[in-house]
């Protein structure tokens, strides 16, 4: 279209309502981020991970670990009416990722797990007491927080989940309504979760570590809310995949098997067709694989350890170890039950022996806790030549015992049910804090399967 002076002018684009809403929504998100960073400067790295994407299917925010899904219309409306709520909503979704809630649900009931995660995050935000997210706490929240504080073991998603298991559906519905904040529809389903952390999960673990370092650099004594934030991030990192943790004990060794990478099936079948029983190329019958060979599992059977939890731990451990991708065919597992002395010893070489172990499973022990006798017994077995190749020792305990002083000639890990005194654990030992409810649920599932 010509102008008055004769020059051609391209007509300017007239913005649609949808385009305008998306532009304004991004400005709202940027403003919200800036408002939160005023109070949470140490969280800068976390705000850079999520990529904001418009989503017409939701009415609130939603995260999948990599993307922040938002409804443009809802963002603008909430920003106009309740800016502080939007700050809380954004921080809430972000904390789910930092606390690893999307990836550590395991086999828990999905509905209860989501409510537990919302309660745990809202509790942290309410304790932060920062101007950008501060709100008056209502009666139901106050009551919930008080009950959880008395329940013990801190207020993490795993603890809240166990607390919710004791509630009826009417109570759960009320809590769901009170603590609902963001949409969890994009969280990975159980079957989508990997044994090895995904790249995006690793990003959040790295961000959590960086935030912890930034908090320490500040040097001031952190407020209760900041301590809770640091604690939740630490727990999220420590609850890594148990299956992934066991892979630390794997070793490389040749195993007789068909290696598809080095075997050309076309030549092989062509020879059989041409000569009857003479393949042109022999299949490669061995390949180097990384699996677990001989392994020792020690369970603390002192008076302070629950027999149900011990059985649940053993069942889940064996389920992982006896998988075809985890264990060599000729592998063996030694099971030692130990309190202040080795009370019972079993050697598992087959599935039949494993089934027999759990058919009439009984705990032997009930005294005090001393870790040393188990290590002394393993040393005796080494000297007797009992192991072909000992890959490691796993000690399941509540941590209240006497540790050996000398480093053994094999990998060692302690699995702790509860908080433990880190300074007492030998520096050469790996350690992992596990969720007590995980073993309880596994034992319950196995018991239900047996009944059916």
Looking at the structure, tell me whether residues 87 and 160 fall in a common domain. yes
CA angle 375, 244, 300 (to 5 degrees): 30
Q: 124-163 pLDDT, tens per residue?
A: 999 888 899 999 999 999 999 999 988 866 788 988 998 9
Q: How would you classify the pairing of strands 51-54 and 67-70?
A: parallel
In a domain, 402, yes or no: yes
Q: How many helices (H) and strands (E) does the chain have?
A: 15, 11
Eight-state DSSP code of residue 2: B
Terminal-to-terminal C-alpha distance of the chain: 80
Which has more pLDDT, 269 or 32?
A: 32
Looking at the structure, tell me whether residues 38 and 149 fall in a common domain. yes
The mean pLDDT value for 314-340 works out to 72
Residue 300: closest CA among 356, 366, 246? 366
In a domain, 1, yes or no: no
Look at residue 318 in the predicted model and tell me its pLDDT: 77
Looking at the structure, tell me whether residues 348 and 279 fall in a common domain. no
Torsion of CA 204, 210, 215, 219, to 10 degrees: 170
Looking at the structure, tell me whether residues 332 and 441 fall in a common domain. yes
Looking at the structure, tell me whether residues 299 and 352 fall in a common domain. yes
- How many domains does the chain fold into? 3
* Interatomic CA distance for residues 60 and 182, integer angstroms: 6
Which of 115-124, 132-141, 244-253, 442-451 comes out lowest in average pLDDT? 442-451
Which of 107-121, 234-248, 337-351 comes out lowest in average pLDDT? 234-248
Looking at the structure, tell me whether residues 312 and 262 fall in a common domain. no
Instruction: Answer yes or no: are the C-beta atoms of 326 and 246 closer than 8 Å.
Output: yes
Specify the CATH number for the domain of residue 363: 3.40.50.410
Which of 91-100, 168-177, 301-310, 354-363 comes out lowest in average pLDDT? 301-310
pLDDT band at 336 (very low <50, low <70, confident <90, very high): very high
To the question of pTM greater than 0.85 for the whole model, the response is no
CB atoms within 10 A of CB 101: 24
Look at residue 142 in the predicted model and tell me its pLDDT: 94
Look at residue 438 in the predicted model and tell me its pLDDT: 57
Instruction: Answer yes or no: are the C-beta atoms of 102 and 183 closer than 8 Å.
Output: no
Which of 63-67, 139-143, 198-202, 373-377 comes out lowest in average pLDDT? 198-202
Kindly state the helix (H) or strand (E) to which residue 408 belongs, with its residue range: none
Q: For residue 147, count CB atoms less than 10 angstroms from its CB and return exposed for 0-12, middle for 13-18, buried for 19 or more.
A: exposed
Residue 74, both tokens: 């809802």
Residue 410, both tokens: 């094999």
Please state, for a pLDDT cut of 90, what percent of the chain lies above it. 39
Q: Quick check: helix, strand or coil at residue 253?
A: strand
Looking at the structure, tell me whether residues 356 and 440 fall in a common domain. yes
Look at residue 114 in the predicted model and tell me its pLDDT: 97
Look at residue 104 in the predicted model and tell me its pLDDT: 84
Look at residue 328 in the predicted model and tell me its pLDDT: 42
Looking at the structure, tell me whether residues 129 and 269 fall in a common domain. no
Place of tokens 């890594």: 240
In a domain, 246, yes or no: no
In a domain, 2, yes or no: no
Residue 107, both tokens: 């086999």
pLDDT at 255 over 50: no
Looking at the structure, tell me whether residues 271 and 317 fall in a common domain. no
In a domain, 9, yes or no: no
pLDDT at 274 over 80: no
The Cα-based distances of 209 to 54, 200, 214, 382 in angstroms read 29, 14, 9, 39
Kindly state the helix (H) or strand (E) to which residue 172 belongs, with its residue range: helix 169-179
Q: 384-411 pLDDT, tens per residue?
A: 998 888 888 999 888 888 999 899 999 8
Which has more pLDDT, 88 or 155?
A: 88
Kindly state the helix (H) or strand (E) to which residue 450 belongs, with its residue range: helix 436-451
* Interatomic CA distance for residues 91 and 445, integer angstroms: 36
Phi, psi (degrees; rounded to nearest 5) at 401: -160, -175
Look at residue 163 in the predicted model and tell me its pLDDT: 94
pLDDT at 258 over 60: no
The three-state DSSP-derived secondary structure of 267-302 is: HHHHHHHHHCCCCCCCCCCEEEEEEECEEEEEEECC
Looking at the structure, tell me whether residues 209 and 327 fall in a common domain. no
Place of tokens 């998306």: 22
In a domain, 10, yes or no: no
Looking at the structure, tell me whether residues 330 and 342 fall in a common domain. yes
The Cα-based distances of 136 to 84, 119, 326, 368 in angstroms read 12, 16, 51, 48
CA angle 395, 399, 402 (to 5 degrees): 90
pLDDT at 230 over 80: no
* Interatomic CA distance for residues 316 and 307, integer angstroms: 14
* Interatomic CA distance for residues 329 and 317, integer angstroms: 17
pLDDT at 87 over 90: yes
Q: How would you classify the pairing of strands 333-338 and 342-348?
A: antiparallel
Structural domain range at position 114: 17-240
Average pLDDT, the chain: 79
Residue 310, both tokens: 């011990």
The mean pLDDT value for 66-84 works out to 93
Helix axis angle, 224-238 relative to 199-218, nearest 10°? 150
Looking at the structure, tell me whether residues 303 and 364 fall in a common domain. yes
Q: For residue 371, count CB atoms less than 10 angstroms from its CB and return exposed for 0-12, middle for 13-18, buried for 19 or more.
A: buried
pLDDT at 253 over 90: no
In a domain, 342, yes or no: yes
């Amino acid at each position: 279209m010509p102008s008055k002076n004769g020059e051609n002018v391209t007509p300017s684009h007239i913005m649609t309502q949808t385009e305008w809403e998306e532009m304004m929504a991004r400005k709202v998100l940027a403003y919200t981020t800036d408002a939160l960073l005023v109070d949470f400067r140490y969280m800068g790295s976390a705000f850079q991970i999520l990529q904001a994407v418009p989503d017409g299917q939701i009415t609130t925010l939603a995260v999948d670990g990599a993307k922040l899904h938002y409804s443009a219309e809802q963002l603008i409306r909430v920003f106009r009416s309740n800016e502080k709520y939007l700050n809380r909503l954004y921080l809430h979704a972000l904390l789910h990722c930092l606390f690893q809630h999307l990836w550590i649900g395991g086999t828990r009931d999905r509905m209860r797990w989501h409510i537990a995660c919302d309660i745990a995050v809202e509790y942290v935000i309410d304790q932060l007491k920062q101007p950008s997210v501060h709100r008056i706490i209502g009666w139901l929240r106050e009551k919930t927080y008080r009950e959880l504080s008395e329940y013990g073991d801190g207020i993490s998603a795993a603890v809240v989940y166990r607390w919710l298991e004791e509630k009826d559906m009417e109570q759960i519905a009320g809590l769901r309504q009170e603590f609902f904040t963001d949409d969890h529809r994009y969280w990975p389903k159980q079957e989508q979760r990997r044994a090895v952390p995904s790249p995006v999960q690793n990003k959040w673990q790295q961000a959590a570590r960086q935030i912890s370092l930034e908090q320490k650099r500040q040097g001031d004594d952190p407020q209760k809310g900041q301590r809770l934030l640091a604690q939740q991030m630490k727990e999220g990192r420590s609850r890594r995949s148990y299956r992934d943790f066991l892979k630390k004990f794997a070793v490389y060794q040749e195993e007789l098997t068909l290696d598809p990478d080095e075997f050309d099936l076309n030549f092989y079948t062509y020879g059989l067709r041409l000569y009857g029983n003479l393949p042109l190329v022999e299949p490669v019958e061995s390949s180097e694989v990384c699996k677990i060979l001989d392994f020792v599992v020690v369970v603390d059977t002192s008076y302070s350890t629950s027999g149900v939890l011990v059985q649940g731990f053993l069942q889940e451990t064996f389920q992982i170890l006896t998988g075809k991708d985890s264990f060599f065919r000729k592998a063996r597992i030694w099971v030692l039950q130990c309190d202040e002395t080795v009370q019972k010893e079993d050697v598992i070489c087959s599935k039949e022996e494993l089934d027999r172990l759990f058919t009439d499973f009984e705990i032997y022990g009930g005294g005090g806790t001393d870790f040393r006798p188990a290590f002394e017994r393993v040393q005796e077995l080494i000297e007797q030549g009992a192991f072909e190749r000992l890959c490691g020792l796993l000690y399941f305990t509540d941590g209240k015992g006497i540790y050996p002083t000398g480093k053994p000639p094999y990998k060692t890990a302690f699995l702790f049910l509860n908080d433990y005194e880190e300074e007492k654990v030998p520096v050469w030992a790996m350690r992992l804090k596990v969720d007590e409810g995980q073993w309880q649920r596994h034992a319950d599932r196995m018991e239900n399967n047996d009944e059916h």
